[in-house]
Amino acid sequence: MYPKNLLPALLICLAALSSCKKKDNTQGPSCLGTYKFSSADLAILPYPTSDPLVFKSNEGDSIVFNSRGRESSVKAVWKYPLNPTGYQGDYYSCEANSAGFISKNSDVLTFQLYFSNPFTQPTIQKFMSLGLAADNSGTCSYGAVFRFDGGMLFSYLPDSSFHSGGYIKAIDDSLKLGPVYFKNVYELVAPGFTYYCPAIFSRVYYTVKEGVVGFRKSTGKTWYLVAGSKPS
């Protein structure tokens, strides 16, 4: 027989062991799948990692964008990313691929390829974001997002007021910018601003073979990609 005061202690110990066992067996978050870009996907962004891009304007000035490189990373997309208790649930592993350029005057040209959120969009989509700040554009810089698939870009219009996404105004078989003709050119339009801008980038001209080949301000000032600085 156990002493009378030992039995409650044994019961407490058994309960504690049971609790620890349950905690130890609790599974952590699981990776539900992995999304990576194919070589064909990555070709939508044709930039190498070192060559500068030179753009000349119809007013005679130039911008020289120096490459900041191109890199790929993999991030976890959590089911509950904002859960205040800290538990974020299961996740998907999704690749992102980016490239960037900057001039000595801090003009910037940035790109990122990424996947839609698998938890909110079961049919996965691929996106390309494009950012341009140049010619003292400040808060009136260009920023847009487009869908891509099969080597082609598509408009992305997630809201009717067009405050996000990106719109393809036209696809030109041949387009002359400055003295240069470019083929298969997308005319890309960014969403409107919710505040006043005296001048905006009304167009960015893009080809899958060469990337950005030009851009235009609402004032009419237009830049074109100088031959010899194109991606190879």
> pLDDT digit of tens for each residue in the chain (232 aa)?
444 443 444 333 333 333 333 333 356 789 999 999 999 999 999 998 778 999 999 999 999 999 999 999 999 999 999 887 778 999 999 999 999 999 999 999 999 999 999 999 889 999 999 999 999 988 899 999 999 999 999 999 998 888 899 999 999 999 999 999 999 999 999 998 889 999 999 999 999 999 999 999 999 999 999 976 666 5
DSSP 3-state assignment of 135? coil
**What is the model's pTM?**
0.84
> Whose CA is closest to 66, among 89, 55, 80, 50?
50
Q: Give the containing element (helix H, strand E) for 10.
A: helix 6-25
Q: Are strands 126-133 and 167-177 parallel, antiparallel or unpaired?
A: unpaired
Could you tell me if 110 and 134 are in contact, meaning their C-beta atoms sit under 8 angstroms apart? Answer: no
The DSSP call for residue 190 is P
DSSP 3-state assignment of 148? strand
Q: What is the largest CA-CA distance in the chain?
A: 103
Separation CA 151–CA 164 (nearest Å): 23
Separation CA 12–CA 182 (nearest Å): 80
